[in-house]
Structure 1
Amino acid sequence: MQPRVGLFVTCLVDLMRPSVGFAAARLIEQAGCTVVVPHGQTCCGQPAYNAGDRKSARELARQTILAFAGCDFVVAPSGSCAAMLRLHYPALFKGQSDAEFEAKAFAERVHELTDFLANVRGQTASDARFEGRVVHHDACAGLRELGIKSAPRRLLSSVAGVELVEAPETTACCGFGGLFSVKYPEVSTAIADRRIADLTSTAPDLVTAGDLGCLMHLAGRLRRTGNPLPCRHIAEVLAGELAEPPIAGSAGETAP
């Protein structure tokens, strides 16, 4: 019997880049799973959590846990949201007996997309193709909180035509940080410029990442400085879903 996987779409994917959600669903299905997208899901609660509003974060957590009841796994195309679900939900209910137990049981079923594909389902091959040099940016939450680093690289290396290159600073932040980029725009922009200089030193044809927030931040800065280097979510590349323009690209722009 195929595992029943609940796709946690994430707010940014839902509102800004639905193609990432469709690509993620296709990849999970290719890994031999049944995909469901519960209608009751909304935000993971991370903005409220990071702002110190634990009450709102708990309410959103309860709603999310209920929405994904009956799923064998919960998969998110975002290390940031996956870390919130997996690590911070149990902390929100610490000491609340039944609620804490339920949150821990839920958290154990949560995975970031590339980790799920590579380490849970053992995916080692792809039928996608991309001709060019690809540099992957590691989002902070996925890297530091969930320890995700090798999985996306193994998956990208399986894509025909991809030459995977590595930036010198493999653990550098993009500068987004959610509310950080709004509260400290000058610092955020300076960090983005440093990260872009690091990524472009490899002369890539494409930048990938597993978090849409990072990609929107980097892609937006690239476009504002006149750099045409395209950015895409790793799910789009792995699924061969390249019909949409690159992030921050213009309508009709499909390459690469």
Structure 2
Amino acid sequence: AMLYDVGAQVVLPPGYLCCGYPQTAAGDDAKGRQITTDNRVLFHRVANTLNYLDIKTVIVSCGTCMDQLLKYEFEQIFPGCRLLDIHEYLMEKSVSLDGVSGVRYLYHDPCHTPMKTHNPVAVASALVGSPVTLSDRCCGEAGTFAVARPDIATQVRYRKEEELKKGLRAMNAAEADGAAGGGDVKILTSCPACLQGLSRYREDTGLDADYIVVEVARKRLGADWVRRFVDVVKEGGIERVLL
């Protein structure tokens, strides 16, 4: 929806599902390599079929996917292209909210941050139109980590909870000094696994968590942005190409 909003022409590869990172991270290197190879073949088919397009940017919205896609050698598939996080791309397109009244933001930078080109805190601040405060420490989710080793993940979560409460105290102190606006505090991130992990702190901290680009879409396009976007693309917004 945000790419459509900024006027970008977007190609969605058909049948493209997993990048291969979970398999590789779990130790199944053979399966990870197979998925990577199959996907690279698919992207080559896209490049050959759509050779009238000058594809210069491959957009990703997940840090672990970014780590895996760096192995795809996209520059050999789409000459001169780059691999970029959605948030960095939107910042480069000058997308920015005019500040959000009644809301202050903490930012959780993922252990596997997808933002490799620009400073993540600067990107988050630029997109929401106001300074965001970095909340340090791992959220304890890390994809399969929370499931595979809940004993360790629980300890990591405990430490992250302390950090979140520390950030809240600092914001409240700044508000008392007149250095920050009042209102609710939300925790933003740029990783889907972290978003899942951060949602677990809601009951203990009162913090709602969201993806930066989703927060921007909601504030920029309206609360019903999903339905409105689907309605638009249904009315001739998608061109289907056989590969």
TM-score (norm 2): 0.68
Q: Structure 2 matches for 1:79-118, cutoff 5 A?
A: 79-86=63-70, 88-89=71-72, 102=76, 109-118=82-91
* Aligned CA distance change for structure 1 residues 29 and 129 (closer, same or farther; 3 Å): farther
- Separation (CA, whole Å) in 2 of partners of 1:231 and 1:182: 20
Deviation per CA, 1:216-256: give whole Å up to 9, x if none: 01212x24x54432111111111126748xxxxxxxxxxxx
Matching residue of 1:131: 102
User: What amino acid maps onto 1:177 in structure 2?
Assistant: A
Residues 77, 235 of structure 1: 8 Å contact kept: no
Q: Helix, strand or coil for the counterpart of 1:142?
A: coil
* Aligned CA distance change for structure 1 residues 237 and 106 (closer, same or farther; 3 Å): farther
1:34 pairs with 2:12: no
Matching residue of 2:57: 73
* Aligned CA distance change for structure 1 residues 63 and 243 (closer, same or farther; 3 Å): farther
- With 140-149 and 35-44 compared, the bigger mean Cα shift is at 140-149
1:236 pairs with 2:201: no
**Structure 1: stretches of 5+ with no match in the other structure:** 1-25, 91-99, 245-256
Structure of larger gyration radius: 2
Residues 175, 189 of structure 1: 8 Å contact kept: yes
Residues 58, 82 of structure 2: 8 Å contact kept: yes
1:156 pairs with 2:127: yes
Residue 51 (structure 1) aligned to one of 13, 26, 44: 26
Matching residue of 1:165: 133
- Separation (CA, whole Å) in 1 of partners of 2:90 and 2:20: 25
- Separation (CA, whole Å) in 1 of partners of 2:19 and 2:68: 7
User: What amino acid maps onto 2:7 in structure 1?
Assistant: G
* Aligned CA distance change for structure 1 residues 31 and 144 (closer, same or farther; 3 Å): closer
1:180 pairs with 2:135: no
* Aligned CA distance change for structure 1 residues 137 and 115 (closer, same or farther; 3 Å): same
Matching residue of 1:64: 39
User: What amino acid maps onto 2:140 in structure 1?
Assistant: G
- The CA RMSD over aligned residues, in Å, is 3.1
Identity of aligned residues (%): 23
**Structure 2: stretches of 5+ with no match in the other structure:** 48-54, 169-183, 225-243
Residues 135, 164 of structure 1: 8 Å contact kept: yes
1:154 Cα deviation (Å)? 3.3
Aligned residues: 198
Matching residue of 1:205: 185
1:215 pairs with 2:199: no
* Aligned CA distance change for structure 1 residues 146 and 85 (closer, same or farther; 3 Å): farther
* Aligned CA distance change for structure 1 residues 72 and 107 (closer, same or farther; 3 Å): closer
* Aligned CA distance change for structure 1 residues 36 and 130 (closer, same or farther; 3 Å): farther
Q: Helix, strand or coil for the counterpart of 1:140?
A: coil
TM-score (norm 1): 0.65
Deviation per CA, 1:142-187: give whole Å up to 9, x if none: 17977752443233342xxx563333x3xx2212222222221121
- Separation (CA, whole Å) in 1 of partners of 2:23 and 2:210: 27
Q: Helix, strand or coil for the counterpart of 2:194?
A: helix
- Separation (CA, whole Å) in 2 of partners of 1:235 and 1:144: 13
User: What amino acid maps onto 1:164 in structure 2?
Assistant: V
1:60 Cα deviation (Å)? 1.4
* Aligned CA distance change for structure 1 residues 164 and 144 (closer, same or farther; 3 Å): closer
Matching residue of 1:97: none
- With 29-38 and 179-188 compared, the bigger mean Cα shift is at 29-38
